[in-house]
Amino acid sequence: MNYSATPLPNSVRMGVYEPLQHISMWEDSFKVDSSTDTGSPTIPEVDKRLESKLEDHSHGILVSLDKYDQTGNKSNDKVLRRLAQNREAARKSRLRKKAYVKQLESSRLKLLQIEQELERARQQGVYLGGNVLDTGHLGLSGTVNPGIAAFEMDYGHWIEEQNRLTHELRTALQAHISDIELRLLVDGCKNHYNDLFRIKAAAAKADVFYVMSGLWKTPAERFFLWIGGFRPSELLKVLMPQLDPLTEQQLWGVTSLQQSCQQAEDALYQGILKLQQTVAETLATDLLRSGNYMPKMAASIEKLEALVSFVNQADHLRQETLRQMDRILTTRQAARGLLALGDFFHRFRALSSLWAARPHERT
């Protein structure tokens, strides 16, 4: 897409990009209040408008699908057994959650101890290689960021649970279970992705640069990173061949959703570029003059706070894409799509491990 150079609007001077007018269907979703009280968009308003746009764009293309086929060949007894198994799995999940909470508390105490030791080392001038140790959850001062440390633990557990759900989906599809049973698994997978968006939002508040840099992901995943995750439009390209056969109406719906995602992605990316430009211009003011430049630092920090809203909007777009796909597809197609998505991410992690373990030529 070509974007002509235009003067920066008031909202951009505050550190937030207002999308170009010719992206008509998204311009309302990303407009923000240009008053001087805040430098970032109001997330609930943006989220509601974004959801409304996706729903309006998908209106009229969704087919009436029987997602709850209760007349299959499976007996009622087997359905009841399956539901009992789900209740037992839920009970075990609650037990695991309690154990996880205890582990978090123990880890929190360990983090506090590590933070105290690092602070003492910093005060005594003990550094690694002449610099403060820099890891994902350490700040520039060498102190632990509790929000990021908690996220890393949560994300590790999220990966484990995703692997389990992916295996369960594959087993269920191979066993040709009923749509009622399959719907329970699909809803569980959707809620699992919602958990990821929730913990990412908390991590973005703790350190938005950490989330955007992808330090919590494997190297191969970081290569494809876009505002703290994958592009929804690219994931749709990967998933579409796995969903065949699609009806003509379903195919048109997925294609239309993909185009809508691309427009939203372009608008968000252009917003990021404008924010980079305004921050760079603020820092570059009067470079050759000596004096107090801290006011410029404060102004730049205020503008950079808008990055949190960009990460949240990008994740909301990803979340809405999953929700719209579930509305377009049948239960069995949605299960196949979630299975393909889980396998796709797993292969990226495997690729990173193989890359790290590859033999190196000696010079």
144 three-state secondary structure: strand
Question: What is the pLDDT at residue 14?
Answer: 40
Start-to-end CA distance of the chain, whole Å, equals 45
- Cβ atoms 314, 266 nearer than 8 A: no
Q: pTM of the entire structure?
A: 0.63
Question: What is the pLDDT at residue 199?
Answer: 96
Q: Diameter of the chain by CA atoms?
A: 82
Buried b (16+ CB within 10 A) or exposed e, 107-125: eeeebeeebeebeeeeeee
Nearest to 155 by CA among 201, 111, 98, 89: 201
Distance CA 83, CA 80 (A): 5
Distance CA 157, CA 251 (A): 35
∠ CA 178-180-185, nearest 5°, is: 95
Backbone φ and ψ of 136, nearest 5°? -60, -40
* pLDDT per residue rounded down to tens, the chain (363 residues): 444 444 434 443 344 433 333 334 444 443 434 333 444 444 445 455 555 555 554 444 444 444 444 455 556 777 777 777 887 887 887 787 777 777 777 776 667 666 656 655 555 443 333 333 344 445 434 467 888 999 999 999 999 999 999 999 999 999 999 999 999 999 999 999 999 999 999 999 999 999 999 999 999 999 999 999 999 999 999 999 999 899 999 999 999 999 999 999 999 999 999 999 999 998 888 777 777 778 888 888 888 999 999 999 999 999 999 999 999 999 999 999 999 999 999 999 999 999 989 887 665
